[in-house]
């Protein structure tokens, strides 16, 4: 088991320039390969600010693919923007990602590929696979363990909204006590 969390404030990640400071954390977990499948399922999940927050590109309205070609085009643009944000964060954390796989200070030509079904075949957990050339990146020491990495990036606005949510819950909780006459 190997776990590390680092915090980093950035305004620019890869080609992506954020509007203000963004806290980026990186959490790593290793686990024995899935018993049923006996194979590595190393995957990287990225939780990032939305294209609206980074580029001012609003999320298109929901519609069924094929019904409204213009809206489909907006969605393609939006999804592409989201992946470019995530790709920037992967580049930012490149060194830590390599370290998670056991490579220290090595200048490897790692590329990242997004997969809608990276974490689950139903599509509920999209994520990224790391590749060395054509091969999926594996742990250097050859143990075959899974490496799972969660990269989380939060803007000041996201942190403020989270704080406000927490305060609202605390207030509601306090009012419950007042209402009960405690
Ligand atoms: Zn699923």
C-alpha 117 – ligand 1 centre gap (Å): 8
Torsion sign across C-alpha atoms 12, 85, 105, 29: positive
43 half-sphere exposure, CB direction, 13 A CA radius: 16
> pLDDT per residue over 6-50, tens digit each?
566 677 777 678 878 889 999 999 887 766 666 678 899 999 999
> pLDDT per residue over 135-157, tens digit each?
888 888 777 788 999 999 999 88
C-alpha 125 – ligand 1 centre gap (Å): 6
Q: What is the pTM of this model?
A: 0.82
Decide if 112 contacts 84 (C-beta within 8 A). Answer: no
Transcribe 128-171 into DSSP letters: EEEEETTEEP--TT----EEEEEEEEEEHHHHHHHHHHHHHHHH
C-alpha 32 – ligand 1 centre gap (Å): 20
Distance CA 53, CA 21 (A): 12
């Amino acid at each position: 088991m190997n776990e590390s969390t680092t915090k980093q404030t950035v305004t620019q990640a890869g080609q992506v320039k954020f509007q203000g400071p963004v806290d980026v954390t990186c959490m790593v977990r290793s686990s024995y390969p899935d018993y049923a499948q006996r194979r590595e399922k190393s995957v990287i999940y990225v939780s990032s600010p939305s294209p609206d927050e980074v580029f001012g590109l609003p999320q298109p309205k929901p519609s069924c693919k094929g019904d409204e070609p213009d809206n489909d085009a907006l969605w393609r643009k939006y999804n592409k923007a989201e992946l470019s944000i995530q790709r920037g964060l992967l580049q930012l954390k490149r060194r830590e990602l390599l370290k998670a796989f056991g490579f220290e200070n090595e200048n490897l030509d790692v590329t990242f590929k997004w997969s809608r079904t990276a974490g689950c075949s139903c599509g509920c957990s999209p994520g990224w696979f790391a590749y060395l050339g054509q091969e999926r990146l594996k742990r250097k020491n050859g143990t075959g363990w899974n490496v799972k990495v969660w990269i989380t990036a939060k803007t000041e606005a996201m942190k403020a909204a989270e704080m406000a949510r927490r305060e609202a819950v605390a207030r509601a909780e306090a009012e419950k006590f007042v209402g009960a006459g405690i």
